[in-house]
Chain A
């Protein structure tokens, strides 16, 4: 044991927990683990909902817990618990060791103790006092929902805010010892418009990380106008006719299609499962030469940015695709161990109850040289997808995305709004068809659900043109 005296029998946030963490790790290594990782969190969250002209929900929550991961060769055992006492953490280590059936393993790894704490939280401790109060949030949400009341066709108005403050301690047997505080705020507006048999909806979401003042700066009037216009434009829209056609995808949230359809296939978890068509395509062309795609966790304030990932590694900027050539996969510790792709600072998890996995952060297609008009003018008969809804990717790579706000393109011009469109395809077939990228890259926040839970990300792109894609409709 490095330290002869255990100063605390319980993890205490804001204190030095080094001795206790070292003892837990020693215990795991001593029982035969190749690698021991401890992730501990303390959360303080609030969400507020305004509906029409009332605050209808205020939901604070707080909690704490630990996730302990033990590796033995390429397999791992993961135990999560709310018990942060020494006894509770050691019991979790024992349970993981027992699950892996390595008790008494004679080969012993060496643990030289934890390094000096890399404390990213020092400048962030004040955040909790700088974020807006429930009163302030409520006032602004009510003003926002009032701004949505622009005519009598708007029958439902909603504004929602959520704030997640997560304090983490990460320690592992390679000496990693990290503390950090993460702050994420998100605000969204939704409307439903109705007139006789016609119905439409509009929604927009905004979000930031690490910027306590951001909600105060949010331009709710602009957001309300945008949501209102979108719902009005779509209220009397006809259903789109199905078929193969060229499409222009808008910038910002249009990037969700790259995130879902291609980004996930570049995570090492997909290589581990053998479910990505890009597994053996490193340094090969997988997309049109106009496509360069990036995943990074360093853009200041972006929803997917982080000082350090959930395995204690600082995030890097990863160029995934350069001029159509596959350059890199998104990797975490298990991914490096099982696939050989170096970690990229992308080990992420929703909370302590999930083991970290390779996950995207801020993921976007880099901007090109064309204007939005260039893209639209190049199409005689197609679809402009101004706002995308959600989407999903099947186990064999097929994707499906709803178009929330779409317009027909006729002879190079935007014409009538259409609803009910769905974009269907497969990444490896669609990526080579992205033939033009605009010069107007923007990012948009979102939540990504996958193997390690729901994590904050941004998606993004400039306007892009896909030469041909299946559009589902009526």
Chain B
């Protein structure tokens, strides 16, 4: 069945069950991926996947939901039945409705859907990439984690009020994670990930170069003394920390009592006036962009921090109604609708007079710690308390030298971190999760082995 037929099928089955109000989200995907091991194909994968999430409203306007991978006629009937039963237990404390924007026009970016290149081509490209990475430095002994994949999918949202929207996309990903070994030293690993609309859009050479340079740069390592340091966050690591604490801007988290913000936090000063943060799912560099969210609300650019102050929260239909505003296009589709950011863009505002602009990661000669990548986010972040303690890959810059840091963690409090931003570099860099310049923070605790 195609998406129009599914909509018709649901409509018919809902009529039989006397369900007047329903909506659904569906996705259909075909994925192909390869992994290699020293020139040999290791695992080759393909999958055809379909998933349907159905919501129904009962006579008391309570919502029930069911998710299924069975999109046959009988599967749809069963899903509607189960959702109907679940609606008896719908949330009486918080109403859910269709998004008022579910029929608004959506912005579909230029069609950048690529055709599949096929498993054989994927395998050839990955084999070549592995060989080049292994040959890039004598200390690189293996590429234990690697993969090249391409995905083709369609996403659909429709409801009983006549809303119907869908889009199709393609996406490819390459990751290369190398392992370097030298005598009497610990093995060191690092890697690189690149995304594109299709395999032909991926800069494979740059992925190889990044993975090699990063791995090699960690070969000469040393422990770091436990102390407080001036920190420079790479664009990737700063985006990681902002995403980890995005509950500060999340209306759902605020209502659930798990956010550091509250309903009255709009306008609260969090950081230097020099900082702006946006969520911009439709940004041209966002390969994973979606023109609408789980409730059918169009995706849009939203300012989260304007000149250091909280400017907006991200919303679903129900949180927006409670906050007396409009949905922002960040909802999932669930029994309890989740809200998540799309793609964070960090920039320097035009009020940047108090920044210490001499702090530039490529020229600064004083002592500082450069945090390249933060790890173990799920373990080391306490978003509801604001604290973090995270292992990282990075370097200590001292006396004109750059030394890789052996197993250390950076710890602190997100509000302290934001308040102690001392510079925002001018050049923004594109990462897989957003865009940011390098960000400098004064006095964060580093725990090391030395």
Contacts and interface: CB of A to CB of B under 8 A. Distances in A.
Interface of A: 48-49, 51, 54-65, 74-83, 92, 95-96, 98-101, 134-135, 138, 155-156, 192, 199-201, 239, 242-244, 272-275, 353, 355, 389-392, 394-396, 398, 400-402, 419-422, 424-426, 470-474
Interface string B175-205: 0010100000011110000000000000000
Contacts of A401: 379
B136 interface: no
Given A80-B47, A424-B447, A396 B188 contact: yes
A419 B256 CA distance: 23
A97 B141 CA distance: 31
B89 A81 contact: no
A83 B187 CA distance: 44
A275 B409 CA distance: 22
B116 interface: no
Interface string B401-427: 000000111011000000000000000
Contact of B46 (A59, A76, A99, A138): A99
A336 B383 CA distance: 42
Contact of B445 (A58, A155, A242): A242
Contacts of B407: 398, 424-426, 470
Given A99-B119, A134-B86, 11 more contacts: A57-B336, A58-B65, A63-B67, A77-B46, A78-B44, A101-B120, A156-B257, A192-B384, A273-B145, A392-B376, A402-B380
A62 B78 contact: yes
A275 B179 contact: yes
Interface stretch (B91-99, B154-162, B290-298, B302-310): B91-99
A58 B380 contact: no
Nearest to A200: B385
Contacts of B44: 75-78, 96, 99-100
B387 interface: yes
Contacts of A395: 144-145, 177, 179, 189
Interface in B357-398: 375-376, 378-380, 382, 384-387, 389-391
B335 interface: yes
B37 interface: yes
A138 B89 contact: yes
Nearest to B71: A82
Contacts of B144: 273-275, 395
21 contacts: A56-B94, A58-B335, A60-B82, A62-B70, A75-B40, A78-B45, A79-B46, A82-B48, A96-B46, A134-B86, A156-B257, A242-B447, A355-B45, A390-B379, A395-B144, A395-B177, A424-B407, A470-B448, A471-B447, A473-B447, A474-B412
B375 A392 contact: yes
A353 B378 contact: no
B445 A473 contact: yes
A107 to B, nearest CB: 18
Contacts of A51: 256
A432 to B, nearest CB: 16
B86 A58 contact: yes
A419 B386 CA distance: 12
B86 A59 contact: yes
A56 B93 contact: yes
A95 B376 contact: no
A59 B378 contact: no
Interface string B133-145: 0000000011011
Contact of A353 (B49, B78, B142, B447): B49
**Looking at A156, A401, A421, A422, which has the most chain B CB atoms within 10 Å of its CB?**
A422
B43 interface: yes
A422 B45 contact: no
A60 B46 contact: no
Contacts of B336: 49, 56-57
A396 to B, nearest CB: 5
Contact of B64 (A54, A58, A83, A156): A58
Interface in B49-107: 49-51, 64-71, 78-79, 82-83, 85-86, 89-94
Contacts of A92: 46
A75 B43 contact: yes
B258 interface: yes
B54 to A, nearest CB: 10
Nearest to B119: A99
A272 B67 CA distance: 36
Given A192-B257, A391-B379, A75 B41 contact: yes
B226 A59 contact: no
A233 B41 CA distance: 53
A472 B179 contact: no
Nearest to A75: B41
Interface in B224-272: 226, 256-258
Contacts of A275: 144, 179
B42 interface: yes
A201 B445 contact: no
B136 to A, nearest CB: 18
Contact of B69 (A77, A82, A473): A82
A96 B42 CA distance: 13
A62 B445 CA distance: 47
Contacts of B40: 74-75
Contact of A355 (B43, B67, B82, B189): B43
A386 B145 CA distance: 34
B128 interface: no
B259 to A, nearest CB: 10
B351 interface: no
Contacts of A425: 407
B348 to A, nearest CB: 29
Nearest to B120: A101
Given A61-B67, A400-B379, A420 B189 contact: no
B426 to A, nearest CB: 32
B429 interface: no
A63 B68 CA distance: 5
Contacts of A394: 189, 375, 391
Contact of A58 (B71, B89, B119, B257): B89
A472 B90 CA distance: 44
Contacts of B375: 392, 394, 400
Contacts of B83: 60
A400 B82 contact: no
A424 B409 contact: yes
Nearest to A158: B256
A95 B189 CA distance: 34
A253 B50 CA distance: 36
Contacts of A239: 411
A392 B378 contact: yes
A163 to B, nearest CB: 14
B447 A470 contact: yes
B94 A272 contact: no
Interface string B436-447: 000000000101
A201 B379 CA distance: 14
A426 B26 CA distance: 43
B449 interface: yes
A396 B335 contact: no
